[in-house]
Amino acid sequence: MNRIKQLFQEKKNILSIYYTAGYPNTGDTLQIAEALEKSGADMLEIGFPYSDPVADGPVIQASSKQSLDQGMTLKLLFEQLRDLRKHVTIPVLLMGYVNPVLQFGVENFCEACAEVGVDGCIVPDLPMVEYEEFYQECFEKHNLSNVFLITPQTATERIHKIDGLTNGFIYLLSSSATTGKNLEVGDTTEAYFSRIKGLNLKNPTMIGFGISDKQTFDKACSYANGAIIGTAFVKAIADGNLEESVSNFMKKFKA
Q: Which residues contact 36 (CB under 8 A, 6 or more apart)?
A: 17, 19, 44, 246, 250
Catalytic one of 28, 37, 42, 56: 56
Catalytic one of 37, 42, 45, 119: 45
Helix (H/G/I), strand (E/B), else coil: 89: coil
Burial 104-133 (b: 16+ CB within 10 A, else e): bebeebbebbeebbbbbbbbbebeeeebee
How large is the angle between the packed helices 242-254 and 29-38, nearest 10 degrees? Answer: 30
Environment class of 151 (CB within 10 Å of its CB; exposed 0-12, middle 13-18, buried 19+)? middle
Determine whether 56 is an active site residue.
yes
246: enclosing H helix or E strand: helix 242-254
Q: Which of 111, 67, 70, 120 is nearest to 93 (CA)?
A: 120
Q: Which residues contact 166 (CB under 8 A, 6 or more apart)?
A: 145, 146, 147, 148, 203
Residue numbers annotated as active site: 45, 56
